[in-house]
Amino acid sequence: MSQTTAVSFHPPAAAIKLPEAATWPLADVLALFELPFNDLMFKAQTVHRAHFPAGDVELATLLSIKTGGCEEDCGYCPQAARYDTGVEAKKILDIDTVIDAAKQAKANGATRFCMGAAWRSPKERDMDKVEEMVREVKALGMETCATLGMLEEGQADRLKNAGLDFYNHNLDTAPEFYNNVISTREYQDRLDTLGRVRSAGLKVCCGGIVGMGESRLQRAGLIAQLANLNPYPESVPVNHLVQVEGTPLHGLDPLDPFEFVRTIAVARITMPQARVRLSAGRRQMGEAVQAMCFLAGANSIFYGDKLLTTDNPEAEDDRALLNKLGLVTRAATLDSAPKAACGG
Ligand code: SF4
């Protein structure tokens, strides 16, 4: 992967371990976070324009094929069965419902259709169903994406053979902060799943969540982990925590919005060819912060009035904002909502 920027080395930041072949030492990533805001924005926009048309934004459509009742304990997630959040556990959707949604998405101009399930990992009986969904969606001539939790040996290959193009699996946060948020699976489990996805020849969608009480250094640690994946992910969703009552992370002090914008900018600079996707939390951000995120190099959004189980801006509001900013959508997608899904 090409790397278009070099930053001066700053004094050691912390003992966060990175892969030996790291092209982005943590100290360099942290140094980007610490640039004066306007310098960071200028650098990010310069990198962005070297790799993408200036005003191009991708709209992603997501359907939850299995909502709620998850056995994991991700501290931010209203779909975890152990938290009392009012999210009802539902069965996996039947194939016809998924195909109808995909057809509708295509009719509205979508080129990619993402299917998400709130599972620790897919079971054998789930795999057969998901493979059929992938085959049928692919047969419609659409790009396919899935987020189903951890994959065991062979499962990524099965999905690839069924016609899957992308697999989403997030690192969530820096390794040093990870145990503050999740205890039911290890960071290494996530890296192992990403390895299986890559080995199967699938494209990777992988990002994280900020605003969970982590430090700036730990935000830099997340970005360094992502940027040092070899190769780095094709899509990088950056979520802003949406605090949901009943989850352990409800009630935290909110993150400074400039810090979120800085995270987007650093993701853009360190992963210049990735689609950096504004994901959860856009509704709470408001238009001005979103506009700064686009300036910082975000070039993809989830589109529709629901994301995971939390509110997303109305599609109409998104269109109005993109128009106001003179941004152009890469592929028009559904007016209908993406529903809840697991990003993990
Ligand atoms: S993020 Fe995914 S794995 Fe974690 S609790 Fe929610 S649905 Fe389960």
pLDDT tens-digit readout, 210-248: 999 999 999 999 999 999 999 999 999 999 999 999 999
Atom of ligand 1 nearest to the CA of 68: 7
Provide, for the chain, the percentages of residues in helix, strand and coil under a 3-state DSSP scheme, each rounded to the nearest 5: 35, 15, 45
**Torsion-angle region of 239 (φ positive above 0: left; ψ -120 to 50: alpha; else: beta):** beta
Confidence at residue 56, expressed as pLDDT on a 0 to 100 scale: 87
CA–CA distance from 327 to each of 27, 56, 199, 271, 322 (Å)? 33, 6, 35, 21, 5
Atom of ligand 1 nearest to the CA of 342: 2
Is the CB of 342 within 6 Å of ligand 1?
yes
Q: What is the DSSP string of 203-239?
A: EEE--EEE-SS--HHHHHHHHHHHHTSSSPPSEEEEE
Confidence at residue 283, expressed as pLDDT on a 0 to 100 scale: 85
CA–CA distance from 104 to each of 22, 107, 147, 273, 333 (Å)? 43, 5, 20, 30, 9
For residues 342 and 60, the model is more confident at 60
pLDDT at 3 over 50: no
Q: What is the percentage of the chain residues whose pLDDT exceeds 90? A: 71
Task: Indicate which residues carry an active-site annotation.
Answer: 70, 74, 77, 114, 145, 205, 277
pLDDT class of 119 with cuts at 50, 70, 90: very high
Confidence at residue 9, expressed as pLDDT on a 0 to 100 scale: 31
Distance (angstroms) between ligand 1 centre and the Cα of 220 equals: 23
Confidence at residue 206, expressed as pLDDT on a 0 to 100 scale: 97
Is the CB of 79 within 6 Å of ligand 1?
yes
For residues 18 and 173, the model is more confident at 173
Is the CB of 209 within 6 Å of ligand 1?
no
Q: What is the percentage of the chain residues whose pLDDT exceeds 70? A: 85
Atom of ligand 1 nearest to the CA of 72: 5
Is the CB of 74 within 6 Å of ligand 1?
yes
Confidence at residue 8, expressed as pLDDT on a 0 to 100 scale: 31
Backbone phi, psi, residue 117, to 5°: -135, 140
Is the CB of 344 within 6 Å of ligand 1?
yes
Is the CB of 280 within 6 Å of ligand 1?
no
Distance (angstroms) between ligand 1 centre and the Cα of 328 equals: 32
pLDDT at 109 over 90: no
pLDDT at 172 over 90: yes
Which of 64, 66, 70 to probe ligand 1 with, by most ligand atoms within 8 A of CB?
70
Which of 88, 184, 342 to probe ligand 1 with, by most ligand atoms within 8 A of CB?
342
Confidence at residue 54, expressed as pLDDT on a 0 to 100 scale: 84
Give CA–CA dist 190/95, Å, rounded: 28
For residues 15 and 99, the model is more confident at 99
Q: What is the mean pLDDT of residues 282-304?
A: 90
Mean pLDDT of the chain: 87
Q: What is the mean pLDDT of residues 124-128?
A: 92
pLDDT at 320 over 50: yes
Is the CB of 72 within 6 Å of ligand 1?
yes
Q: 70-79, 127-136, 200-209, 323-332: which has the minimum mean pLDDT? A: 323-332
SS3 for 302? strand
Q: Which amino acid is at 317?
A: D
Is the CB of 149 within 6 Å of ligand 1?
yes
Q: 13-22, 204-213, 257-266, 318-327: which has the minimum mean pLDDT? A: 13-22
Q: Is the peptide bond before 231 cis (omega within 30 degrees of 0)?
A: yes
Atom of ligand 1 nearest to the CA of 149: 3
Q: What is the mean pLDDT of residues 48-55?
A: 92
Task: Write the residue with the smallest CA distance to atom 7 of ligand 1.
Answer: 118
Structural tokens at position 256: 């400074």
pLDDT at 90 over 70: yes
Distance (angstroms) between ligand 1 centre and the Cα of 242 equals: 14
